[in-house]
Amino acid sequence: MALPALFSCNVGEPFSLEDNPDTVVEEIPKAVNSAEGAATEEFLIRIGKGEAVPEGIEAERLFRPVPGKEELERKHGLDRWYVVRPSRGMELRAAALAVSEIPAVESIEFESSLTRPFESDHLELPAVPFTKAGNPVTMNDPLLKSQWFLYNNGDKSVFGSTNVAGTDVSIRDAWRLETGDPSVIVAVVDEGVKYTHPDLKDNMWKNSGEIPDNGKDDDGNGYVDDVYGYNFAADGAISWNLSGDEGHGTHVAGLVAATNNNGIGVSSVAGGSGSGDGVRIMSCQIFSGTRRDGVAAAAKAIKYAADNGASVLQCSFGLGSYYSDKAFSEGLSAVKAAFDYFRDPANANCSAVQGNIVVISAGNGHNSKAEYPGAYRDYICVSAVSQDNLPAWYTNYGSGVNIASPGGDNTLANGLTMLSTVPSETDATKSDYAFMHGTSMATPVVSGIAALGLSYAKRLNRKFSRDEYEALVLSSVNPLEDMLTGTKKGPSSTMDLASYRGKMGTGVIDAWKLLLNIEGVPFTTVKTGQEAVVDLSAWFGSDANHLTWLGVEIPEADRKAIGLSGDAVLRDGKLRLTCMQHGCARLTVTAIAGGSIQGSDTEMGGKPFSRAVSIVSRSNVSANDGWL
């Protein structure tokens, strides 16, 4: 069916709603969202299964197909999405209205805006000399002393009067076991990453199938010169220093994998040991200068990340205004399809986990719910804490949040937030390093730790399902709940900390605990013939007594092996059971990461996660589960 009047490749007749005021376009049939505030002058359409794009519409595939992945692309409907560009002069809504009349078109989606939840602090680096107590760490990066989130010895002269020792992610202990694996790739979906940065260049992913700057798609993946990733916003080379760029992508990348132990700059979670062994950063650019970028860029970037080897998707951005999983799925269905494709076990890019991991910021609106897409129940959604070990004043919390992580707080004394790499071109002082704060910064700390964990799992030849691995991440936390009493001064109001209880996720991420969890949690012993009370904090994190439990599953063979009398009961972070027989059993216990209800289509909530708990029942037990 042709619509030459509207969509011919020649210039069509201009159509203006102002000139045609009687045209009714308030409701566009088949549109899943509103054109009001659309980020671009294009829109997306999904055609029906088996249908072809009608002639006369200037449309191109949203997702570039990859040879060998056609079946997986069809499974997630990626082959049915197109970007439509109305002819010059054609108004967006009128064009969409015309397209909605085409039977082959199943749905229409206007481009929601992408938002970046961060603020730059542009602080001078403190001229604080090393103290003997202040630098007991293994990396020689001179600015590590200003990265309290990696190691915090409580020095108040450096990090302010509210600084609390130990409010870091225990990375020094984790580095004893693992510093990174170059085969683990983290896709930074953000502004472009400055891949020539002195403290990033050695940890950039490099597409070995591409010859740089020859203007050709050498590897046939649909993208030209995509050596370090690609710029999906501008459909071209990665950029980071256009007017409007803030260095956000480079800062995020540095938190994940700035090169460690190279004698310059900063350290990072998974930046290696100094031997070129950090995890790798893939730049998937969706923000560019002052462009108002929409979901099409994000959707393409996410698919690219899956198709080119990323196993962690690092997303510090928000999308539109949605308040339920169903609304997000339906209103942002192209990007949702891309996320599903990325997480599909068939797309697993790391041998240690069957499926890839999505980590997304909760947002900086100091609202009592996370923003989407982070809030969607499948993704790991990150809230922010500060160096006082309390929620950051700006962080979203509540429904949709799964875990907390250091994000910095610019209002605390000294105001030192999160130090990382930036493009010198975007920094006021032309420095290669700068402070920023936000859930945007908290999120790459989690992404980096997830990547560090994958590196360790590979080293140990451990293999997990995606859900198992996500559960390990969510249960590798330090306590926060018991500190949520009293008040904390924010920039414009006082925070009632009790209102954050049960709303910051499972706790504050800890890298050391994740590596121990990957090794495995040792069994616990219970005395045969009497009720045993098993503390689940070893499996579910230090705040286990504050979690909401969904249940415990025991295979029948295991139930018989320990002679389980009645049911195992979960309460207050403890498992109560009575075993009447000597033996071993493996139970699966499930809790909610974040809040008291599971996220569903109609209600925002937390993410269920499960851990396997090994129990040995015997006639005598020691207090520390030692065998004798």
Partner 1 sequence: MMFPLFLAACQKDEADFGKALPGVWEMVESEGAAPSAGLSIWLVFEDGNFEIYQRASVSERYKLYKGTYTISGSTLCGSYSDGTPWACDYRLRLEEKMLVMEALAGSGVWKYRKSALPSGLEILSE
Q: How far is the CB of 553 from partner 1 (least distance, A)?
A: 16
Spatial neighbors of 354 by CB under 8 A, at least 6 apart, are: 345, 348, 463, 464, 465, 466
CB closer to partner 1, 130 vs 627: 627
d(CA 133, CA 334): 51
**Binding track over 418-457 against partner 1, x by CB under 8 A:** ----------------------------------------
d(CA 301, CA 317): 13
CB closer to partner 1, 337 vs 613: 613
Contact 382, 374 (CB under 8 A): yes
Nearest of 1, 25, 22 to residue 91 by alpha carbon: 25
Q: Which of 172, 206, 291, 618 binds partner 1 (CB under 8 A)?
A: 618
CA torsion 617-620-622-627 (nearest 10°) is: -70
Contact 538, 610 (CB under 8 A): no
Contact 554, 568 (CB under 8 A): yes
Contact 217, 286 (CB under 8 A): no
Q: How far is the CB of 458 from partner 1 (least distance, A)?
A: 15
Q: Which of 220, 244, 520, 551 binds partner 1 (CB under 8 A)?
A: 520
Q: How far is the CB of 582 from partner 1 (least distance, A)?
A: 4
Q: Which of 6, 561, 589, 593 binds partner 1 (CB under 8 A)?
A: 561
- Span from 120-128, 295-303, 316-324, 612-620 in contact with partner 1 (CB under 8 A): 612-620
The H or E element spanning position 177 is: helix 171-177
Contact 356, 349 (CB under 8 A): yes
CB closer to partner 1, 98 vs 174: 174
The reply on whether position 620 binds partner 1 by CB under 8 A is yes
Contact 3, 13 (CB under 8 A): no
Q: How far is the CB of 586 from partner 1 (least distance, A)?
A: 7
d(CA 256, CA 279): 8
CB closer to partner 1, 156 vs 582: 582
CB closer to partner 1, 165 vs 460: 460
d(CA 567, CA 577): 7
Q: Which of 5, 533, 584, 597 binds partner 1 (CB under 8 A)?
A: 584
Contact 491, 411 (CB under 8 A): yes
CB closer to partner 1, 360 vs 516: 516
Q: Which of 125, 574, 586, 588 binds partner 1 (CB under 8 A)?
A: 586
d(CA 362, CA 254): 20
Euclidean distance between the first and final Cα of the chain, in Å? 80
Nearest of 431, 373, 433 to residue 402 by alpha carbon: 373
CB closer to partner 1, 243 vs 461: 461
The reply on whether position 519 binds partner 1 by CB under 8 A is yes
What are the two backbone dihedrals, phi and then psi, of residue 430, each rounded to the nearest 5 degrees? 60, 30
Q: Which of 37, 263, 486, 522 binds partner 1 (CB under 8 A)?
A: 522
Q: How far is the CB of 178 from partner 1 (least distance, A)?
A: 10
The reply on whether position 555 binds partner 1 by CB under 8 A is no
Nearest of 219, 185, 199, 204 to residue 68 by alpha carbon: 219
The reply on whether position 492 binds partner 1 by CB under 8 A is no
Query: Could you tell me where the DSSP H helices lie in 390-465?
Result: 439-459
Residue holding tokens 């600084």? 163
| # chain residues binding partner 1, by CB under 8 A | 28
Nearest of 117, 126, 115, 116 to residue 419 by alpha carbon: 126
Q: How far is the CB of 107 from partner 1 (least distance, A)?
A: 45
Q: How far is the CB of 604 from partner 1 (least distance, A)?
A: 35
DSSP SS3 for 228: coil
Q: For residues 152-181, which are near partner 1 according to CB under 8 A? A: 176-177
* Rg of the chain on CA atoms, in Å: 25
- Span from 185-193, 249-257, 273-281, 582-590 in contact with partner 1 (CB under 8 A): 582-590
Q: Which of 427, 523, 548, 563 binds partner 1 (CB under 8 A)?
A: 523
Q: How far is the CB of 265 from partner 1 (least distance, A)?
A: 29
- Span from 6-14, 18-26, 273-281, 577-585 in contact with partner 1 (CB under 8 A): 577-585
CB closer to partner 1, 176 vs 571: 176
The reply on whether position 530 binds partner 1 by CB under 8 A is no
CB closer to partner 1, 296 vs 568: 568
Q: How far is the CB of 516 from partner 1 (least distance, A)?
A: 6
CB closer to partner 1, 50 vs 626: 626
d(CA 231, CA 303): 13
Both tokens of residue 262?
């190279």
Between 439-459 and 466-475, two packed helices, what is the crossing angle to 10 degrees?
Answer: 120
Q: For residues 120-139, which are near partner 1 according to CB under 8 A? A: none
Site residues (vs partner 1, CB under 8 A): 176-177, 460, 515-516, 519-523, 561, 582-584, 586, 614, 616, 618-628
